[in-house]
């Protein structure tokens, strides 16, 4: 296995983040590479979900992963065991990635030979939602233990996402979590949100989500 690379990404110098994000998307489109921005609060299961997703898709798609964290390389070390190209991004204390920081990661990762690049954003339901990273699609994970009221409290995250994974459904019996309510609240924020209840640990529900993602990648890379 390759030595894990840890990249210190610097806050962007671009005044207009949205224009920079559009530029990244245009470049990815030309290269036929799909960029997924995966967001969630701390401990919602981003890494486990990503590893399961890679297992389901790695025989059909060339995948690369950027793991963003303030510190440590624990997530990148885990993802690297799937065999896909993985780098760790350190944000120097920053609570999110912007387009310029994402581009630094993409350049280190190398996208030309990839069908799907995944950015696992910093664990945070607030700030990452405010910055377009250049991703083709944004996906959020909300886990059952976090509670069904989160779309009420963190509106922007649910507004900017294209799909929502509701993770850890294996522990539904142990938590007061109303699946109908969370779907209702999330659709209040964003009526077009595709919602997938999953358990990344057991694999339950993962096929539907992986099929959605594969379909999006195929449409973009066509």
Nearest Cα neighbor of 25 from 108, 132, 161, 104 is: 132
- Site mask for a second copy (CB under 8 A), range 146-175, x = bound: xx-xx-xxxxx-----------x-xx--xx
Distance of closest approach, residue 211 Cβ to a second copy, in angstroms: 27
Cα(51)–Cα(164) distance, integer angstroms: 17
What is the helix (H) or strand (E) element at residue 66, kind and residue range? strand 63-69
First to last CA, the chain: 31
| Residue 6 is a binding residue for a second copy (CB under 8 A) | no
| Residue 4 is a binding residue for a second copy (CB under 8 A) | no
Q: Which of 8, 29, 60, 70 binds a second copy (CB under 8 A)?
A: 70
Residues in contact with a second copy, counted by CB under 8 A, come to a total of: 34
C-alpha distances in Å from residue 184, one per residue of 139, 151, 153, 158: 18, 9, 14, 12
| Residue 71 is a binding residue for a second copy (CB under 8 A) | yes
Q: Cα 130 to chain center, whole Å?
A: 14
Binding site for a second copy (CB under 8 A): 41-43, 69-72, 74-75, 93, 95, 122-127, 130, 143, 145-147, 149-150, 152-156, 168, 170-171, 174-175
């Amino acid at each position: 296995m390759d030595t894990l690379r840890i990249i210190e990404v610097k806050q962007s110098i671009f005044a207009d983040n949205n224009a920079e994000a559009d530029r990244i998307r245009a470049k990815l489109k030309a290269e036929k590479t799909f960029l997924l921005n995966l967001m969630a609060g701390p401990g919602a299961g981003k890494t486990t979900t990503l590893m399961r997703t890679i297992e389901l898709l790695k025989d059909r798609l060339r995948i690369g992963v950027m793991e963003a964290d303030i510190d440590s390389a624990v997530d990148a070390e885990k993802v690297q065991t799937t065999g896909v190209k993985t780098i760790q991004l350190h944000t120097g204390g920053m609570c999110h990635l912007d387009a310029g920081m994402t581009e630094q990661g993409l350049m280190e990762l190398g996208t030309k030979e990839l069908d799907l690049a995944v950015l696992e954003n910093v664990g945070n339901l607030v700030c990452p939602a405010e910055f377009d990273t250049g991703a083709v699609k944004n996906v959020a994970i909300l886990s059952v233990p976090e509670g069904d009221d989160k779309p009420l409290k963190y509106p922007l995250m649910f507004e900017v996402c294209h799909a929502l994974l509701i993770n850890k459904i294996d522990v539904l019996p142990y938590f007061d979590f109303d699946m109908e309510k969370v779907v209702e609240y999330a659709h209040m924020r964003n009526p077009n949100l595709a919602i997938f209840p999953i358990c990344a640990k057991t694999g339950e529900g993962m096929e539907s989500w992986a099929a959605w993602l594969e379909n999006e990648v195929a449409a973009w890379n066509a």
